[in-house]
Chain A
């Protein structure tokens, strides 16, 4: 297995309010898992805890990633070990070019994997290839990270980073319902292009429509900090028809 989450409890750092109340999840290589659930159920928290965001504090439980204790690792070490978080809102970094940002990232990840660093021209050639695949304009590489990008362009840029960093597990935090259909297609397309039978995905989303494009192997419903229901793709379709009302009735405290 690639990822094993056991009885994960987490809260907002320095606040005594538990958000994740005992999550168990196992992801094997090549699997695509979707995590759905109503607003406020803890979906985005789960995605961010996996990536190591310091806003959250893990109070109980274990996470094993590729044989290592994930919770002991710094965010950059998790990324180097092959975990990638696609951000709900990719961050703008004025003044730092996409090229410098990603060149630094790619070589940091390569170093951790025991690979020689890419020279700038090798990096540029690789970037050009991936950008072409993702239908990105070449000048995006020269622009500041996500600055002045549309919502869709930001998503595409995140997918580009994912393609360049070649993670073992990509966690897609697509919690927000406000994403337009084009941005969702960008995400779905990015995921589908990188599915190779080995790479795994956790797709966190509120709506089924993203899953229509991705067709996950497993669907889990997160509610009130716990996975309350798991199933195949048909579970997503069921939720789309009936909404979360049944779940809320059944599992509310």
Chain B
């Protein structure tokens, strides 16, 4: 029997599907973090997560959850690190959203106070490293339990990211700009958002990269705690490089009468995956999770949700849309799970996909699991091509065929945004989608 101190990991055990070089580099990173950070509970989380990753490995296409999302290219990464690149503040200004907001900047995952705005009143920020003991304990106890390997990777590299606490109604949106330079082939950020009872936050999660960025994995996890009666609005613009990989988890725990609304706009990444896992823990909580993705070239775009209706009288609404062009692939996977006792659950999940390219493809898997008897749940998924009647109607009014396509496709994609109350935010996301459509 071997024993190891809290600060060391076993470098010799492989991680399924990763190269030895990549495993070793990961182990070196985990060790370096644990050497620099003497807090034993944090060391224990990293070590436990790394060990769990060694036991679990990364999935293949045989794994049901990864059937349609190829990881081969992602897992070929060696997690190299290159010389740091300087980032010009003016470049960051170009991707600033056109509405009043407080922006926090993360370059290759590292928070940059000097490039960031002052926080609005009611918001406080601390490094994720300083997360409380109870949370560390919770992480450590659940590393072995059904955690996704990319989530485990995030815990093994627990270091960068922030805890953002909200203790009053905050009107000014907080933007988290994640900017990738390519200096690091593995960016791992973990944020926590804690919204106190009766308060409100709009969080804009933005992912961008330098023009000529090399291949990298952007692994981002956000955990949000939405207390009684709190409102959490989340807007995500994912515009990572077309060669990069984007793996994201958004865990949201909702208490009584809380409200969570999310919109995800997917544009970037050779392979991208955005997973929203919502736990409706308190009664009368509302969730509204929508997305729109535009996949072109050979992109693989995966949007998935897991909605746990764990409590009675909760409502969930979802509209997910994907436009897939060229030989790109779209994946939608959505699960509504209704626990015994979650009576009067009202869950609706709709997925619509538009295939533009002759080789474009979408795999959709909407699912319901219901263990309560007095619920109203439905799901639907439809994949089709541009409606020839709509196209002809526009052309019969003198509108050019290509412009008609653009009008109809843009409308299809932006429909899920109509629920976004803020017109400037809506316009910003619409513009991002239209820019890519007009490519």
Q: Tell me if B395 and A101 are in contact (CB < 8 A).
A: no
Q: How far is the CB of B427 from chain A (nearest CB, A)?
A: 13
- Do the beta carbons of B393 and A76 come within 8 Å of each other? no
Q: Are A95 and B410 in contact (CB under 8 A)?
A: yes
Stretch at the interface among A83-91, A198-206, A222-230: A83-91
Query: Nearest CB to that of B410 among chain A residues?
Result: A95
A79→B415 CA distance, assembly (Å) = 28
Q: Given A54-B388, A74-B401, A104-B403, answer yes or no on A93-B396 (Cβ-Cβ < 8 Å).
A: no
Q: Which of A30-38, A105-113, A117-125, A128-136 contacts B (4 or more CB under 8 A)?
A: A105-113
Q: Is the CB of A96 within 8 A of B408?
A: yes
| Nearest chain A residue, comparing its CB with the CB of B400 | A76
| Whole-angstrom distance between the Cβ of A55 and the nearest chain B Cβ | 8
Assembled-state Cα–Cα distance A95/B407 (Å): 9
Tell me if B85 is interfacial: C-beta within 8 Å of chain A. Answer: no
What is the size category of the interface that chain B forms with chain A? 20 to 34
- Look across to chain B and name the residue whose beta carbon is closest to the beta carbon of A105: B397
Determine if B411 is an interface residue (Cβ-Cβ < 8 Å).
yes
Interface assignment of B414: CB less than 8 Å from any CB of chain A:
yes
Q: Which residues of B contact A112 (CB under 8 A)?
A: 398
A96 close to B407 (CB less than 8 A): yes
Cα distance A48–B401 when bound, in Å? 17
* Cα-based distance from A106 to B401 in the complex (angstroms): 15
Q: Is the CB of B390 within 8 A of A161?
A: no
The one of A75, A92, A96, A145 in contact with B396, judged by C-beta atoms closer than 8 angstroms, is: A75
Q: Which of A52, A54, A104 is in CB contact (< 8 Å) with B399?
A: A104
A95-B411, A95-B414 as given contacts; A109 in contact with B398, CB under 8 Å = yes
* B370 interface residue (CB < 8 Å to A): no
Please tell me if A165 contacts chain B, counting CB pairs below 8 Å. yes
Mark each residue of chain B from 406 to 428: 1 if its CB lies under 8 Å from any CB of chain A, else 0: 01101110110010000000000
Contact at A79–B396, with CB atoms within 8 Å?
A: yes
B62 at the interface (CB under 8 A from A): no
CA distance A67 to B54 in the complex (A): 77
Complex: chain A residue closest to B414, CB-CB: A95
With A93-B390, A104-B403 as known contacts, state yes or no: A74 contacts B395, CB within 8 Å: yes
Most buried by A among B387, B395, B407, B414: B395
Question: B407–A91 contact, CB under 8 A?
Answer: no
Q: Which of B349-402 contact A (CB under 8 A)?
A: 387-390, 392-401
- Residue of A54, A74, A79 touching B397 (CB-CB under 8 A): A79
A165 touches B393 (CB 8 A): no
Contact of A79 among B388, B395, B408 (CB under 8 A): B395
Does A80 touch B at the CB level, under 8 Å?
Answer: yes
* A76:B395 contact, CB within 8 angstroms: yes
Residue of A nearest to B398 (CB): A79
The answer, yes or no, to whether A193 is at the interface (CB within 8 Å) is: no
Q: How far is the CA of A105 from the CA of B403 in the complex (A)?
A: 10
Cβ contacts under 8 Å, B397 to chain A: 79, 101-102, 105, 161, 165
How far is B388's CA from A52's CA once the two chains are assembled, in angstroms?
13
In the complex, whether A53 has a CB less than 8 A from a CB of chain B is yes
In the bound complex, CA of A74 to CA of B397 (Å): 12
Q: List A contacts of B395 (CB < 8 A).
A: 52, 74-76, 79
A161 to B412, CA, bound (A): 22
> Which residues of A sit under 8 angstroms from B393, Cβ to Cβ?
87, 90-91, 93, 145
| A123 → B minimal CB distance (Å) | 14
User: Please, how many angstroms separate the alpha-carbon atoms of A54 and B395 in the complex?
Assistant: 11
A3: shortest Cβ distance to chain B, in Å? 16
Kindly state whether residue A94 has any CB partner on chain B within 8 Å.
yes
Chain A min CB distance to B350 (Å): 13
Within 8 Å CB of A161, what residues of B? Answer: 397
Q: Is A104 in contact with B407, judged by CB distance below 8 angstroms?
A: yes
Contacts of A87 in B (CB 8 A): 393, 396
Q: Report the separation of the CA atoms of residues A76 and B391 in the bound assembly, to the nearest whole angstrom.
A: 10
The digit string for B179-217, where 1 denotes a CB below 8 A from any CB of A, is 000000000000000000000000000000000000000
The verdict on A108 contacting B407 (CB below 8 Å), with A91-B390, A91-B393 known, is no
Contacts of A221 in B (CB 8 A): none
A27 at the interface (CB under 8 A from B): no
Bound complex: CA A87 to CA B389 (Å): 11
C-alpha spacing A236/B46, complex, angstroms: 87
For the complex formed, measure the closest distance between the CB of A165 and the CB atoms of chain B, giving whole angstroms: 7
Task: Report Cα–Cα, A102/B395, bound state, in Å.
Answer: 11
Given A95-B415, A96-B408, A96-B411, are A101 and B398 neighbors across the interface (CB < 8 Å)? Answer: no
Contact of B401 among A76, A94, A109 (CB under 8 A): A76
Give the chain A neighbours of B408 by CB distance below 8 A.
93, 96
Q: How far is the CA of A101 from the CA of B391 in the complex (A)?
A: 12
Q: How far is the CB of B100 from chain A (nearest CB, A)?
A: 25
CA distance A144 to B414 in the complex (A): 12
Contact A75 B415 (CB under 8 A): no
Q: Given the complex of chains A and B, what is the CA–CA distance between A198 and B407 in angstroms?
A: 33
Judge if A100 is at the interface, Cβ distance under 8 Å. yes
Residues of A within 8 A of B394 (CB): 93, 101, 105
Q: Does A51 contact B (CB under 8 A)?
A: yes
Please tell me which one of the listed residues A78, A90, A93 contacts residue B411 in the complex, with CB atoms under 8 A apart. A93
> How long is the Cα–Cα vector from A101 to B387 in the complex, in angstroms?
16
Q: Which of B393, B396, B412 has the most CB of A within 10 A?
A: B396
For A51, A76, A78, A106, the residue with the greatest tally of chain B CB atoms inside 10 Å of its CB is: A76
Q: A76-B399, A91-B389 are in contact. List 4 more A-B contacts (CB 8 A).
A: A54-B392, A75-B392, A93-B390, A93-B411
Q: List 13 A-B contacts (CB under 8 A).
A: A74-B395, A76-B398, A78-B396, A79-B395, A79-B397, A91-B387, A93-B408, A95-B418, A101-B399, A101-B407, A104-B399, A104-B407, A108-B398
List B residues at the A interface (Cβ < 8 Å).
Answer: 387-390, 392-401, 403-404, 407-408, 410-412, 414-415, 418
3 interchain residue pairs of minimum CB distance:
A95-B411, A79-B398, A91-B393
